[in-house]
Amino acid sequence: MIRKAYDILISLKTVFWLFAATLLFMLIGSFALPAELAFFSGIDDEPLFGWLNANANITKTWWIWAIIGAIALLGASTVLCTIDYLLNRLTRSRLLLKLSPQVMHTGALFIMLGHLLTGSYGFKTDVTVSEGKTAAVGNGVEIKLEKMTLKLDELGFASDWSAMISLSGAGSAGASKNIAPSSPVYYGGLGFYFRSVDTPSEADGAPSAVFRVSKDPGAAWALLGATLLAAGGIGFLTARFNLSVKETRPRADGNEALPD
């Protein structure tokens, strides 16, 4: 029974069917999500598994679980295929050509791991802070909005903005940093992104800012995976190009060399 399951998982046909199933469930989701916008409105504002746990409506989320299941099986198939190839079929001839796909497989697995970690243990939250005030943002970190710089258009609306913020906590030394919409700040394992501002009114006189704070524990793994995926792709193309040149190089007698 175990051997049969193993043979099924390492089969190329299984991989094709899993890819087809994943695309089908994604297609279903592309229609289901717009049809239930109110229900799915917060799915991008928190980690996936946290959102699924808080919105446990299987009749509306079944296609998401189906995608997760199909990707999990693809991951298991990739792991087993890579191990099987390295242990049983790898030879020294044309090593770069044979190893490059396995490096790409490993890169894809690290990308999956990165998304799994972020979807399980990450978080996102929006924090509103008035100038001169301090707010807690999570992970034991506090943010203080020291000074806001606003550029207003002729109608009085903010067209550009930046701010000086102070960050403290999380066992790290305090830091003062400049933040702008195109210049996020990273501190204590968190990312800070400038989302929007409220211009000062006559009543309060102080501007306030909205910061998106996120924790992405899978980012490093996803970056490693993307690097391996690119390196494997470059290695494979290089090996194929060198092989093509070698196979078409003329022999001493003037005829083209035949492939090995």
Per-residue pLDDT tens over the stretch 11-60: 888 989 999 999 999 999 999 999 888 898 888 878 888 889 888 889 99
Predicted local distance difference test score (pLDDT) of residue 108:
92
Q: In this structure, what is the dihedral angle of CA atoms 210, 214, 220, 226, given to the nearest 10 degrees?
A: -70
Predicted local distance difference test score (pLDDT) of residue 202:
46
Question: Is residue 240 located within the same domain as residue 201?
Answer: no
Q: pLDDT (tens digit, 9 = 90+) per residue, 57-67?
A: 899 999 999 99
The pair of three-digit structure tokens given for residue 57, joined into one six-digit string: 């409506």
pTM of model > 0.75? no
Question: Is residue 163 located within the same domain as residue 183?
Answer: yes
Residue 74 has pLDDT above 60, yes or no: yes
Question: Is residue 73 located within the same domain as residue 147?
Answer: no
| CATH code (residue 209) | 2.60.98.40
Look up the domain containing 146 and give its range.
124-215
Question: Is residue 26 located within the same domain as residue 102?
Answer: yes
Q: How far apart are CA 18 and CA 173, in angstroms?
A: 48
Q: pLDDT (tens digit, 9 = 90+) per residue, 221-236?
A: 999 999 999 999 998 8
247 Cβ contact list (under 8 Å, min separation 6): 257, 258, 259, 260
Question: Is residue 191 located within the same domain as residue 229?
Answer: no
Residue 205 has pLDDT above 70, yes or no: no
Say which range, 40-44, 75-79, 188-192, 203-207, has the weakest mean pLDDT.
203-207
> 158 and 150 in contact (C-beta within 8 Å)?
yes
User: Could you give the 3-state DSSP secondary structure of residue 155?
Assistant: coil
Predicted local distance difference test score (pLDDT) of residue 154:
73
Does residue 53 lie in a domain region? yes
Give me the number of domains the chain comprises.
Answer: 2
Does residue 257 lie in a domain region? no
Does residue 253 lie in a domain region? no
Question: Is residue 128 located within the same domain as residue 176?
Answer: yes
Question: Is residue 199 located within the same domain as residue 99?
Answer: no
Give 149's strand partners: 162
Question: Is residue 162 located within the same domain as residue 112?
Answer: no
Question: Is residue 132 located within the same domain as residue 79?
Answer: no
Question: Is residue 65 located within the same domain as residue 113?
Answer: yes
Residues 95-101: what's their mean pLDDT?
Answer: 84
Predicted local distance difference test score (pLDDT) of residue 249:
64
In sign, the C-alpha dihedral spanning 119, 64, 31, 114 is positive
Question: Is residue 211 located within the same domain as residue 95?
Answer: no
